[in-house]
Structure 1
């Protein structure tokens, strides 16, 4: 945001109707601020031209107040606000008064500034790629399980097949941290093959039988 116009103006007080010299800044957002001095330490008042101002008068249009001593009426400038408030001003010269009128009138009617210096290009925004991938994430049913309000059931036991084709259930080997608690452990029972010949078993256990 930048200054549109700055400079000294005489302002008439609202109570004693005395003229006082103030420094004025007209900003590009339509705000008109005036200070005690050029250092801008203390703001005396401000007005938003597009919001509060309804009319700008100059010269002979300013009929309800008189210019300060030694100044012609062509230097007079008046800002009329919606609430009935008026700001009576006097410029250094008629040309300066005209320049202020043009700047204030543009600030009152210009709608190009919308409250931010960053202007967005709607075309660029509409053509921008989506923030997420175009491919939808597969539903949990694709992987063989259903949704449980954002959490999945605890892992079950694993099934392992022995060399003889018999299946055994092996419990999950890692601690589960989910909301369903620790899964129940499964006992593994390993059965030896049944020997049909008791004599062979006794022969293998005899002291004289060779061990390979």
Structure 2
């Protein structure tokens, strides 16, 4: 997918309501990904705007919440999500906030198409294009492919990697349980 807009924005945390800077990437298929910094090392979260976003407000439309101390209300952006939560953001200027809002709306409402070289036309990609399988019985312009060969494309979400995290969490829980169990019962055996 193509990158629509990227840059630093202030984001209000959900629990402590503190403002911190994050690097945001907005992709053409409507996925908003934000990282701890511009190096893309630590993924904070990703939101699929086409599926989860209800409304987007910017500038003086944002009557809820307060912007960071160094910014004004006209720099704020609030994304209201389907689960009832909201993502409060703040840009460096009012023009930047308006540009982000327009980019959010464009990716939310514009269909994403993918070029099919075999038929020389564009096909619409599903809203959640990851883990989608496309089967094409044509040779797709590859001369080495036979006429009866079927091509299969699988699009996977590059940010979906929870298997290792779950296994590590289970291991940490087992070790913690063993240590606590030994500490709790050791005074009884003395």
Short-chain TM bin: 0.5 to 0.7
For the pair 1:97 / 2:97, whether they are aligned, the reply is yes
Does residue 1:49 correspond to 2:33, yes or no? Answer: no
Which residue is 2:166 aligned to? Answer: none
Other-structure match for 2:9: 9
1:117-147 C-alpha deviation (Å, 9 max, x unpaired): 444675779xx9xx57xxxxxxxxxxxxxxx
Q: Give the 5 Å matches for 1:160-199.
A: none
Q: Per chain length, whose mean CA-contact separation is higher, i.e. which structure has more relative contact order (CA < 8 Å, sep 6+)?
A: 2
SS of residue paired to 2:83: coil
Pairwise CA distance, 1:100: 0.2
Per-residue CA deviation, residues 33-91 of structure 1 (Å, 9 max, x unaligned), is 00000000111011011111111001122122011112111100011111112000000
Distance (Å, rounded) in 1 between the aligned partners of 2:80 and 2:116: 31
Equivalent in the alignment of 1:107:
107
- How far off is 1:12 after superposition? 0.3
Which structure has the bigger radius of gyration? Answer: 1
Relative to its length, the structure with more helix (as a share) is 2
2:28–2:112 contact (8 Å) kept in structure 1: no
Structure 2: segments with no counterpart, 5+ residues: 122-135, 140-146, 149-190
After TM superposition, give the deviation of residue 32 of structure 1 in Å: 0.4
Equivalent position of 2:21 in the other structure: 21
1:120–1:86 CA distance, 2 compared to 1 (3 A): farther
Q: Which runs of 5+ in 1 are unaligned?
A: 133-212
TM-score (normalizing by structure 1): 0.55
Residue in structure 1 matched with residue 186 of structure 2 by the alignment:
none
Superposed CA RMSD in Å reads 2.5
TM-score, normalising length from structure 2? 0.61
| Whole-angstrom CA distance in 1 between matches of 2:92 and 2:12 | 14
Q: How many residues get paired? A: 128
Residues 112 and 37 of structure 1: CA distance in aligned 2, closer, same or farther (over 3 Å) = same
